[in-house]
Amino acid sequence: MILLDNVVKYYPGDKEPALDHVSLSIKPKEFVFLVGKSGAGKSTLIKMLTREEKPTSGKIMVGGIDYDYLKKRHIPHLRRRLGVVFQDYKLLPNRTVHENVAFALEIVGVSNSEIKRTVPKVLELVGLADKGHKFPAELSGGERQRVAIARSMARQPKILIADEPTGNLDPETSWGIVRLLEEINNFGTTILITTHDEQIVNQLRKRVITIRNGKMIGDQKNDGHYDLDAIRTRIVKRPLATAKHTAPTADEIRRATNSRPITAQGAVRPTPRRRVI
Ligand SMILES: Nc1ncnc2c1ncn2[C@@H]1O[C@H](COP(=O)(O)OP(=O)(O)O)[C@@H](O)[C@H]1O
Ligand SMILES: [Mg+2]
């Protein structure tokens, strides 16, 4: 569950808020598009959830964690529970595909034997089973984004957040990424994607939240379409459709990755950190 209650965000020195009393809730297993023009506040909203930025006022809860009570030392743990994917992939250039995914597990203390088992399975999930030995520079944009998705899914997050994941990709490749995210959603992972891609939003007809100038101006719970002037809520004729749940979330992903759940207490023991690059 993602919950924002009257969230306001002013960046230092700004007269206008980047987020202006935004309230929304997203249930487990939903697939949600967050749309809005450049500068509308989409990335700021994402940064509220990843705690990259703090709200000026308002309440945020994610997966039962109340951010008012979130201590600094809990933040890495929170980020483990949220998978995050960016427009520019943010891969480690001097590491292979396999190592990029492995690193995400290493830093949260997953054992080497488990990493060896998990990485190939996650790469298979994203259709890159045969690319583990390649470096990011040797991959296409779509493949790089698949690595980023594999990396974020390796830790079996309940929620996957993607900030313009198709922003650098051509339409066909974008569709491949969106279909992959749909598949991950079908396993039970909540998906929140920010996008500019009108065609994808209109074809998928998922829930669509629209923001303009930091204000949430639309929340089409069902059959949503890309409309930057959307009125607040369209009439919902059907019950809230989340996804075709073919399997329960954690189990399915766990089976796909053959790894242990990460508990609130952090059941996995940390291994010594390695230097990046
Ligand atoms: N780190 C920052 N410092 C100051 N202002 C920022 C920062 N990040 C974003 N903003 C401002 O907040 C507003 C919303 O930006 P952003 O959330 O990046 O929008 P979007 O992702 O929808 O393009 C913009 O006016 C932008 O200039
Ligand atoms: Mg942005």
Assign 9 to helix, strand or coil: strand
Distance from Cα 103 to the centre of ligand 2, integer Å: 26
pLDDT for res 275: 52
Residue 222 alpha carbon to ligand 2 centre in Å: 24
For ligand 1, atom 7: residue with the closest CA: 11
Q: Is the pLDDT at 146 greater than 80, yes or no? A: yes
Q: How far is the CA of 197 from the centre of ligand 2 (A)?
A: 13
DSSP state of 199: H
**DSSP state at residue 270:** P
Residue 250 has pLDDT above 80, yes or no: no
Split at pLDDT 50, 70, 90, the class of 63 is confident
Q: In Å, how far from its chain's centre is CA 122?
A: 16
pLDDT at 264: 45
Band (251; pLDDT cuts 50, 70, 90): low
**CA angle, corner 258, sides to 126 and 2, nearest 5?**
70
Gyration radius of the chain over CA positions: 18
Q: Please, which pLDDT band fits residue 244 given cuts at 50, 70 and 90?
A: very low
- Binned at pLDDT 50, 70 and 90, residue 262 comes out as very low
Fold of 2-257: Rossmann fold (3.40.50)
Measured by CA distance, the residue closest to atom 12 of ligand 1 is 18
Q: Is the pLDDT of residue 254 over 60?
A: no
Tokens of 135: 């470096």
The pLDDT tens digits for 192-238 are 999 989 999 999 999 999 999 999 999 999 999 998 886 655 544 44
Q: What is the pLDDT of residue 233?
A: 52
* Closest by CA position to 183, among listed 204, 209, 155: 204
Would the pLDDT of 184 be above 50? yes
Q: What does the block give as tokens for 267?
A: 């059941």
Ligand 1 centroid distance, CA of 218 (Å) = 20
- In this structure, the strands spanning 57-62 and 65-66 are antiparallel
Which tokens in the block code for residue 53?
């930025």
Q: Residue 134 pLDDT more than 80?
A: yes
Q: How confident is the model at residue 274 (pLDDT cuts 50, 70, 90)?
A: low
Q: Are 80 and 25 in contact (CB under 8 A)?
A: no
Q: How do residues 86-132 score in pLDDT, each as one tens digit?
A: 999 999 999 999 999 999 999 888 999 999 999 999 999 999 999 99
Measured CA distances, 46 to 2, 84, 118, 155 (Å): 11, 9, 28, 19
CA dist., res. 195 & res. 175, Å (int): 13
Helix (H, G, I), strand (E, B) or coil at 173: helix
Atom 25 of ligand 1, nearest CA residue = 39
Range of lowest pLDDT (14-28, 121-135, 187-201, 261-275): 261-275
Ligand 1 pocket, CB under 6 A? 11, 14, 18, 36, 38-44
The yes-or-no verdict on residue 261 having pLDDT over 60 is: no
Nearest ligand 1 atom to alpha carbon 41:
17
* 18-to-11, 54, 217, 220 alpha-carbon distances in Å: 7, 12, 14, 22
∠179-160-233 over CA atoms, to 5°? 80
Neighbouring CB atoms inside 10 A of 63's CB total 16
Q: What is the mean pLDDT of the chain?
A: 87
Structural contact between residues 135 and 95, judged by C-beta atoms closer than 8 angstroms = yes
Residues contacting 220, CB < 8 A, separation 6+: 207, 208, 209, 210, 230, 233, 234
